[in-house]
Chain A
Amino acid sequence: MAATDPSTQKAPTAQAPTEKEPTGTQREVANDAALHEAKVHESYGQLVWRRFRRSKAAIAGGLLVLGLSVMAVCADFFSPYALGEITLEDTFIAPSRVRMVDVQGKIHLWPFVYAQELAINPATFEPTWSENTDKMYPIELFVKRSEYKFLGLIPSRLHLFGVEPGGKIHLMGTDKFGRDLFGKSCQAGRISLTMAIFGTLISVAIGSVLGVTSGYYGGRIDNVIQRFVEFVNCFPQLPLWMALAAIVPRTWDSFRIFVIMALIFALLSWTTLAREVRGKVLSFRETDFLLAAKEMGASDRRVIFLHLFPNTLSHVLVILTLTIPAIILAEAFLSFLGIGIQEPLVSWGLLMRNAQNIQTLGQYPWMMTPVFFIIAAVLGFNFLGDGLRDAADPYATM
């Protein structure tokens, strides 16, 4: 430490001449540059990013979340079939096996699927789909198929992949309405993700307001708010969520159900945040910069919004990323039980609803596949939140 001290003091003064005279002795410039790089002022954001970047898991989590969001927004493009389409004869097709090797053992350079053939089981009269190995359909990329409006605005016919009409490609199979589960899962991300984010934002709003108030004003107000937090914490989240979700009238329109569900999730999720923010504010209350601001006559509002809240923002962000997966999981379970999101909205949990019946599950195990989207989303947000937690305090030594 002692060795670098004089040089850090030198660095700012040495910087100006080196910029003016780039022809100065090479070695000194290089030295200065190295020192300069280590000690240059970096904004809080840069410091956080620098530390965040080091965690591979956090980057992977961020990419997962990003990927799922893109798939949700551009679901029409990623789905090989039209999203709203219900084709009743295509019910319960097993996931297509994408092959590189055909039944004769010949290796193909391009992946393909076999044709699907419908047969009636003579014993049970149940329609069953099976592969017809006589005809094969190579998978094509960027095909023009059914029309949709990209982002609800731009008419387009482009799909990421597909097979020639006549063949069928369902990466995750189809459900009882003949809907392609893969495309539907992409689409379901829209509701599952926005509901979790929306609910989390509401809970963040409640939590930060109560947390800052509690920590800043202290005394009686603090006491009341803290007792209230303890009281809310007494309620088991899941049962109360279920009870509240179950009394939402089924006759409401989709939008109202969506908003009310997000509110229900927010209702019990804000307590951790309120506590953390309060703790942060309490520790800042005694600092010099806050005293200075107050002595200069800053109003409470100015102190809170300009000095206190920005300092708690990093922690808010961390808790935000960790609340989202909790809501995704809860929403999935509620919708899976049939007391969450209703058709015509789709969420990942709702897509798995048919798997609740063990008989259906036994016959069509691929009804469980939307779970991989849930796992990916939750894992992504968890990794992201964990990486952010380490990065949020970049001044701490690791």
Chain B
Amino acid sequence: MVNYVLRRLVIAAFLLVGVALVSWIVIQLPPGDFATTYQTFLMNQGGTTQEQAEAAANRLRAQLGLDQPQAVQFLIWMKGIVTQGKFGYSFAYRRDVGELIGERLVYTLILALSAHAISTLVGISVGIYVAQRKYSLSDNLASIIAFVLASVPRFWIALVIAYIMVFTFNQHHITSFFAPQYVMAPWSPEKLWDFIKHVWPIVFIAGLGGIARNMRVMRGNLLDVLGAQYVTTARAKGLEESKVINRHAVPNALHPIIAYQGTVLPYMFQGEMEAAIVLGIPTLGPLFYESLVNQDIYISGGLLFIYAALIVLGNLISDLLLAVLDPRIRYN
């Protein structure tokens, strides 16, 4: 077991370095660098001449190490992330990117993980329910709904919800976590309720696709397991159907779902991102989108890295969880 865990950890570490490298390459692809943005800013808003601006930009380059070769720059960037949690400097926010991301990461994780939890619970329960009623009305209905949910663009669902909330229920401040009176208030049940009132569309939208996926996987697995001989044996011995399902079939059908969690997690983050961008709720999604539009490269690169790192982490956790549950995997 220790061996297996160590091996997975080493692989994860290598993946993280690779992911960081690709994020770095992506943010270095556009022409110009951080100092060029500064230079144009000085010329447009500061009213300086081109020479002055260029001199200032060069000073900034030397200060941030942007005049170094790419490899050195990458190492500096990596060192900042690992040792100090610094991802570079945001031009639009005039702050360290690490702090910016840190603030929003908590909310993103809360939203994505609750969407994940809800979609897993609901998806698995519905999957178990319909697998016992193969080709019945409820089964067909659930499949059709799952299909339609997977086909509707999430950004459009977000638009519809925003439209209904603003123009039907007259709910304003949809683009924040709290109504103004709660922003500075300490946490209380009312504040929590207000929070839920603001973020439910994101959890809902991110979770929808997950419910559909989990349901289909669970239904398929359970149907496979229900066809196995030991289930027939259990029934033949006169076991109650509920016990056959819950004690014998479901635990064995759950394994693929856990293995599959690693792939569902990025899906949740993407759903959260898509919904949050459209609704403008300040999580990582809108920050990422703005940074891309404004060419705020350290935010884009940092976030790309964070997203990928979260997925690597999610995969690692699901691998380890699976190893705990299934001895065949850890000795393989």
Contact = CB atoms under 8 A, between A and B. Distances in A.
Q: Do A and B come from one complex?
A: yes
B100 interface: no
B19 A234 contact: yes
Interface in A299-348: 325, 329, 332-333, 336-339
Contact of B274 (A230, A233, A238, A246): A238
B10 interface: no
23 contacts: A235-B19, A235-B307, A236-B266, A236-B269, A236-B311, A239-B273, A239-B304, A240-B26, A242-B288, A242-B289, A242-B292, A246-B300, A247-B26, A329-B153, A338-B293, A352-B156, A358-B166, A361-B163, A371-B153, A371-B156, A375-B151, A375-B152, A382-B151
A375 B274 CA distance: 17
B62 interface: no
Contacts of B148: 375, 379
Contacts of A244: 26
Contact of B163 (A231, A332, A362, A382): A362
Contacts of B307: 235-236, 239
B137 to A, nearest CB: 16
Nearest to A361: B163
Nearest to B277: A337
Nearest to B167: A362
Interface string A358-398: 10011001001001001100110011001000000000000
Contacts of B167: 362
A261 interface: no
A323 to B, nearest CB: 14
A246 B270 contact: no
A236 B270 contact: yes
Interface string A198-240: 0000000000000000000000000000000011011111111
Contacts of A375: 148, 151-153
A332 B147 contact: no
Contacts of A247: 26, 29-30
B299 to A, nearest CB: 11
A356 B278 contact: yes
Given A375-B151, A382-B147, 6 more contacts: A235-B308, A239-B307, A240-B26, A243-B300, A333-B274, A339-B293
Interface residues of A, number: 39
Given A231-B15, A247-B29, A358-B162, A237 B270 contact: yes
A382 B150 contact: yes
B151 to A, nearest CB: 4
Closest 8 CB pairs of A and B: A246-B292, A378-B151, A238-B270, A379-B151, A236-B266, A236-B307, A247-B30, A371-B156
Nearest to A228: B18
Interface string B15-43: 10011001000110110000000000000
A375 B154 CA distance: 11
Contact of B303 (A237, A239, A374, A386): A239
Contacts of B289: 242, 337
A238 B15 CA distance: 19
Interface string B120-154: 00000000000000000000000000011011111
Nearest to B266: A236
Contacts of A234: 15, 18-19, 308, 311-312, 315
B195 interface: no
Given A244-B26, A382-B151, A238 B273 contact: yes
Interface in A227-281: 230-231, 233-240, 242-244, 246-247
B166 A362 contact: yes
Contact of A355 (B29, B159, B166, B292): B159
